[in-house]
């Protein structure tokens, strides 16, 4: 006689699903703007990737100071045919675009933070009109480089951010880091961010930083962006 335990099997299956869900929730999500990621809780999580050890590194026993490292390597091929509806004499081309981004996120307690992110965006020869554009090439530069000073105010948190930073608002129709391009948008400025119970209020004043393809990028004093 064979004994079956259907309820036991269902119970074990539910426990397995619950276990996977819990472990998945412990791992922080990657973000388009990498400075929005929070790996502080990862110190108590199980490392399941060979690069996980780089996401939380603490030189102190109490974890008061900790660092997180990350990056991206992207290769993209653009093939053009009938460029500008065939108007120019040369309306066909194939371009290889390469982008390497590396960052380090340093925290000292809950109040102080420094985030630095560098970018190298390169491209092969582009024979189409305009040649290599500023959205194609940014040989080596600072993408994000800012310091945060945070304070608890009631049930919320106020963060003052000073330095170079990327912005992303709404559907990115007006203000965007332009992630689809090889070289990205960025701004130099001051940003105040207040977060409480899932709501946020942001006030900022900044200057746009145009890309100089082969030199260090400097902010344009005549191109300002501010808002609340």
Looking at the DSSP assignment, which residues form a beta bridge with residue 116? 104, 145
Please indicate, yes or no, if residue 172 is contained in any of the structural domains: yes
Question: Using CA atoms, how far apart are residues 76 and 156, in angstroms rounded to an integer?
Answer: 42
**22, pLDDT greater than 70:** no
pLDDT at 84: 77
Using DSSP bridges, classify how beta strands 156-165 and 187-196 pair: parallel, antiparallel or unpaired: antiparallel
Please indicate, yes or no, if residue 194 is contained in any of the structural domains: yes
Q: 33-60, pLDDT tens digit by residue?
A: 999 999 988 876 666 777 888 999 999 8
pLDDT at 52: 84
Question: Using CA atoms, how far apart are residues 212 and 193, in angstroms rounded to an integer?
Answer: 30
Please indicate, yes or no, if residue 152 is contained in any of the structural domains: yes
Where are the alpha helices (H) located in 37-191, listed in sequence order? none
Please indicate, yes or no, if residue 128 is contained in any of the structural domains: yes
83: left (phi over 0), alpha (psi -120 to 50) or beta: beta
Please indicate, yes or no, if residue 112 is contained in any of the structural domains: yes
pLDDT at 204: 98
Write down the pTM of the prediction.
0.84
Task: Kindly provide the residue ranges of all beta strands, DSSP E only, lying in 5-64, ordered along the sequence.
Answer: none
Average pLDDT of the residues of the chain = 87
Number of alpha carbons in the 13 Å side-chain half-sphere of residue 162: 4
Residues in the chain: 228
176 neighbors 186 (Cβ within 8 angstroms): no
Mean local confidence (pLDDT), 147-153: 96
pLDDT at 120: 98
Question: Using CA atoms, how far apart are residues 59 and 110, in angstroms rounded to an integer?
Answer: 16
- Give the lowest-confidence range in 1-15, 77-91, 194-208: 1-15
Please indicate, yes or no, if residue 200 is contained in any of the structural domains: yes
Which residues are CB-neighbours of 78 under 8 A, at least 6 positions away?
94, 95, 97
pLDDT at 47: 67
Q: 64-119, pLDDT tens digit by residue?
A: 999 999 999 999 999 988 887 877 667 889 999 999 999 999 999 999 999 999 99
202 neighbors 181 (Cβ within 8 angstroms): no
Please indicate, yes or no, if residue 61 is contained in any of the structural domains: yes
Please count the structural domains in the chain.
1
Task: Kindly provide the residue ranges of all beta strands, DSSP E only, lying in 91-208, ordered along the sequence.
Answer: 93-108, 112-123, 138-153, 156-165, 187-196, 199-208
pLDDT at 55: 92
Please indicate, yes or no, if residue 1 is contained in any of the structural domains: no
Domain, as residue range, for 24: 7-227
């Amino acid at each position: 006689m064979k004994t079956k335990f259907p309820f036991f099997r269902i119970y074990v299956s539910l426990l397995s699903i619950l276990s996977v869900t819990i472990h998945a929730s412990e791992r922080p999500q990657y973000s388009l703007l990498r400075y929005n990621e929070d790996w502080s809780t990862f110190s108590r999580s199980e490392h399941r990737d060979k690069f996980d050890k780089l996401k939380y590194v603490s030189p102190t026993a109490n974890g008061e100071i900790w660092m997180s490292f990350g990056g991206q390597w992207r290769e993209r091929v653009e093939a053009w045919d009938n460029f500008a509806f065939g108007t120019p004499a040369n309306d066909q081309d194939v371009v290889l675009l390469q982008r390497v981004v590396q960052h380090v996120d340093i925290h000292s307690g809950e109040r102080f933070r420094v985030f630095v992110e560098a970018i190298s965006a390169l491209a092969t020869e582009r024979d189409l009109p305009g040649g290599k554009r500023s959205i194609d090439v940014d040989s080596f530069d600072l993408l994000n480089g800012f310091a945060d000073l945070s304070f608890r105010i009631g049930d919320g948190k106020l963060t003052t951010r000073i330095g170079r930073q990327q912005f992303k608002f709404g559907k990115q129709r007006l203000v965007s880091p332009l992630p689809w391009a090889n070289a990205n948008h960025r701004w130099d400025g001051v940003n105040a961010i207040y977060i409480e119970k899932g709501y946020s209020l942001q006030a900022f004043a900044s200057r746009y930083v145009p890309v100089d393809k082969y030199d260090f990028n400097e902010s344009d004093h005549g191109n300002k962006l501010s808002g609340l």
